[in-house]
């Protein structure tokens, strides 16, 4: 009796081993294709500014503000073939003993900006020198570091103390003026070749 029940199953045609392997491999590749497509589509699109390399993200106008009033303005027009930019500082900055800007007499204006001297770009770091007046013998040096495409810090790295007749040390500079938080105010970064 048991033999009779098993016979209907013996009559079912079975595929040979080669066909089974082909079907299994086809299924594996189809599954991998579906998973790859799903993984690709789930990735977020890069933001326009993030697609730019760090040096291109510098292009534009940046401001450090105190209560909505600009006290530093950095304007970068071009980075290739050379860096072209200008810098403006508000006349009459008041700085507290701990290096914080506490008051400005008059806003910094782009129309009062002077060209950057010897600007250098190193990845997310832009360094430059600046003379506030035509007769200045010693230039101040600054370093601007990108935090993201719309924010940066600006730090004084070298300055001459006219009263003391000497350059301030790094420690003296750190005490006299803390780095300033800069925001890009014209998000129109130009793509350069």
What pLDDT was estimated at residue 31? 61
What pLDDT was estimated at residue 12? 54
52-184 topology per CATH: Lipocalin (2.40.128)
Q: What is the pLDDT of residues 23-74, one digit of tens each?
A: 666 665 666 666 666 555 655 554 554 455 767 899 999 999 999 999 999 9
The torsion defined by the Cα of 165, 171, 174 and 177, in degrees rounded to 10, comes to -20
pLDDT beyond 90 at 4: no
What pLDDT was estimated at residue 50? 47
What pLDDT was estimated at residue 49? 46
> Alpha-carbon distance 126 to 145, whole Å?
6
Q: What is the pLDDT of residues 109-158, one digit of tens each?
A: 999 999 999 999 998 999 999 987 766 788 899 999 999 999 999 999 99
What pLDDT was estimated at residue 120? 95
123: left (phi over 0), alpha (psi -120 to 50) or beta: left
pLDDT beyond 60 at 191: no
Q: What is the pLDDT of residues 65-105, one digit of tens each?
A: 999 999 999 999 998 889 999 999 998 888 888 888 999 99
pTM, two decimals, is 0.68
> Alpha-carbon distance 77 to 123, whole Å?
17
């Amino acid at each position: 009796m048991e033999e009779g029940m098993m016979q209907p199953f013996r009559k079912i045609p079975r595929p040979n081993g080669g066909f089974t392997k082909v079907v299994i491999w086809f299924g594996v590749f189809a599954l991998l294709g579906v998973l790859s497509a799903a993984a690709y589509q789930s990735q977020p699109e890069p933001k326009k500014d993030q697609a730019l390399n760090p040096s291109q993200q510098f292009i534009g106008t940046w401001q450090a503000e105190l209560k909505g009033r600009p006290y530093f303005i950095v304007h970068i027009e071009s980075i290739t073939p050379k860096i072209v930019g200008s810098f403006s500082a508000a006349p009459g900055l008041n700085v507290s003993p701990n290096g914080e800007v506490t008051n400005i007499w008059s806003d910094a204006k782009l129309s009062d900006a002077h060209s950057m001297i010897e600007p250098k770009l190193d990845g997310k770091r832009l360094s430059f020198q600046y003379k506030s007046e035509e007769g200045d013998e010693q230039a101040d040096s600054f370093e601007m570091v990108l935090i993201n495409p719309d924010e940066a810090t600006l730090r004084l790295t070298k300055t001459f103390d006219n009263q003391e007749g000497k350059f301030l040390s790094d420690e003296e500079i750190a005490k006299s003026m803390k780095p300033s938080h800069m925001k890009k105010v014209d998000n129109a970064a130009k793509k350069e070749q």
